[in-house]
Amino acid sequence: MAEGDFLEMATTALGIGAPPRHVALIMDGNGRWAAARGLPRFEGHRRGVEALRRAVRAAIDLKISYLTVYSFSAENWSRPREEVQSLLGLLHRFIRNDLAELHANNVRVRVIGARSDLAPEIGDLLREAEQVTQGNSGLTLVVAFNYGARQEIATAVRALAEMVAKGEIAPESIDVESISAHLDTADIPDPDLIIRTSGEQRLSNFLLWQAAYAEFVFLPILWPDFDRAAMIAAIQEYAHRDRRFGRVEAPRRSAKTAS
Ligand code: IPE
Ligand code: IPE
Ligand code: MG
């Protein structure tokens, strides 16, 4: 039996909730992984790309619908120039080398984060990844690049304010739905599970709005060591959580999944 089917059966049998539809990963700890081995930080990032490939494969096998990966934050530009250059180079190589395989695996790539201030070649590359895979119906891989949640919310609020100024909408019409609809993630469901590696327990400006009811799992391992077993362990912990969404009890599972 495939591991994904097994996991789904196990969680269903125990009545501990459905597997997560959307998993988000804060891929942290590349620098510390390299430092522990006396290697340059770049080597940690390079090995981090291999861990990302394992994470994508695991997400496909576990039948997760959306996998969001935090690859570069709006604040990461303040790292040393050489490190920023090496991270941009790795993104470039990841898309160049892996796009065909992602496409063959029916993966749809989406990119969130600010595009306007990116170098044209990076912008073109991200657009190409989205365009080539837009018709795919398998895993949606959401790449958060040059992403900052506060900036994303500010941009959405500015767009709504402009609509008010033009008389297109009334201020009273601004609500949770209209703000959500103006975020980069407009058509992506909120994350169910956010996993951060490296032992740090913070969001670092990731999906602040969308994480309102996400479950968090903080793993002590460093990102280059992330693998399928770590993903399964995090999902098993998630499966034991009692998600209440402000209610007294968790919403009842549907008859179909509870049978
Ligand atoms: C995550 O690893 C990669 C990015 C933030 C781009 P780090 O580079 O943050 O590694 P640590 O946290 O310094 O170990
Ligand atoms: C968060 O990690 C960003 C990514 C994983 C891309 P950081 O390493 O940049 O976060 P802080 O600085 O430790 O909060
Ligand atoms: Mg870090």
Minimum CA distance residue for ligand 1 atom 13: 31
Q: Please identify which residue in the block is written with the tokens 């693998």.
A: 227
Closest atom of ligand 1 to CA, residue 45? 3
Ligand 2 and 72: CB distance under 6 A: yes
Q: What is the pLDDT of residue 8?
A: 61
Work out the angle at residue 117's Cα, subtended by the Cα atoms of residues 115 and 123, and round it to the nearest 5 degrees: 45
Determine the Cα–Cα distance for residues 19 and 13; give it in Å rounded to an integer.
12
CATH code, domain with 70: 3.40.1180.10
pLDDT of residue 117: 86
User: 121 in a domain, yes or no?
Assistant: yes
Q: Give pLDDT, residue 172.
A: 98
Residue 117 within a domain = yes
In a domain, 96, yes or no: yes
pLDDT of residue 1 exceeding 90? no
Using a 6 Å cutoff on CB, does residue 26 contact ligand 2? yes
Check residue 2 and give its pLDDT: 63
In this prediction the pTM is 0.93
* Ligand 2 contact via 202 beta carbon (within 6 Å): yes
- Alpha-carbon Rg for the chain, nearest whole angstrom, is 19
Whole-number Å distance, alpha carbon 29 to ligand 3 midpoint, is 5
How large a percentage of the chain has pLDDT more than 90?
88
Residue 96, domain extent: 19-146+190-237
Do 219 and 225 contact (CB within 8 A), yes or no?
A: no
Number of domains in the chain: 1
55-71, pLDDT tens digit by residue? 999 999 999 999 999 99
